[in-house]
Structure 1
Amino acid sequence: MPKTPRDLAEGMAERRQRRMRDDGYVRETFTQTREDARKTARAFLDRFPKQAYMSEVERWREMPDGAIEFTMRRLRTAD
């Protein structure tokens, strides 16, 4: 049975996550409304500043229902 584009994308994402697990970063993934996503990202960057923890929004996408799924990452040294 041929794979759909979604199946291929999910497989690529899983392989990427396996490769990235031991790179020294901690990741947190959220799914929120656009407004709440902005607030969460700002709070995360306030708590873990980019200059000290190399924090960033690693990836994001808009879901079919309009929610935003995003992953924040930071160095583990904050723990």
Structure 2
Amino acid sequence: MAKFTPPPLDGLKRRIDRHRQQMAGERSGMFVRETFQMSRIEAREKAREWFEEFPKAAYWTEVESWRQLDGDQIEFTMRRLPTAD
């Protein structure tokens, strides 16, 4: 009975490393972030839009941070993955 020998993976490893280096220069982090400043009602609607357009299960969408400003203003940062791969 012949013994299975796995194929060498050196070429694949080099390709993966090269791809990761190229992608590292294109974006500063893994997530896409956008910061908003708007009224509380508008902020809720904007967050809903993000969750509808980029579902949490696929894009890891979340309100990364938020704070209340003077009056009824909210400053918040939404974050998501760039693709749903």
TM-score scaled by structure 2? 0.63
Q: Which has the larger radius of gyration?
A: 2
What is the aligned-residue identity percentage?
53
Within the candidate set 40, 43, 46, 2:49 is matched to 43
> Which residue of structure 2 aligns with residue 60 of structure 1?
66
User: How far did residue 55 of structure 1 move?
Assistant: 0.3
2:39 maps to 33
Once the two structures are overlaid, the 10-residue window that deviates more, 46-55 or 57-66, is 57-66
The alpha carbon displacement at 1:52 in A equals 0.2
How far apart, in 2, do the equivalents of 1:47 and 1:25 lie? 16
Aligned length: 58
CA–CA distance in structure 1, aligned partners of residues 40 and 58 of structure 2: 26
Q: Which amino acid aligns with 1:72?
A: M
Say what the alpha-carbon RMSD is for the aligned residues: 1.4
TM-score (ref. length: structure 1): 0.68
List structure 1 segments (4+ residues) > 2 angstroms apart after TM superposition. Answer: none
| Residues 1-20 of structure 1 mapped to structure 2, 5 A cutoff | none
Q: Going by fraction, where is helix more abundant, 1 or 2?
A: 1
AA aligned opposite 1:60: W
Cα distance in 1, alignment partners of residues 38 and 49 from structure 2: 14
How far apart, in 1, do the equivalents of 2:57 and 2:72 lie? 31
Q: Which runs of 5+ in 2 are unaligned?
A: 1-26
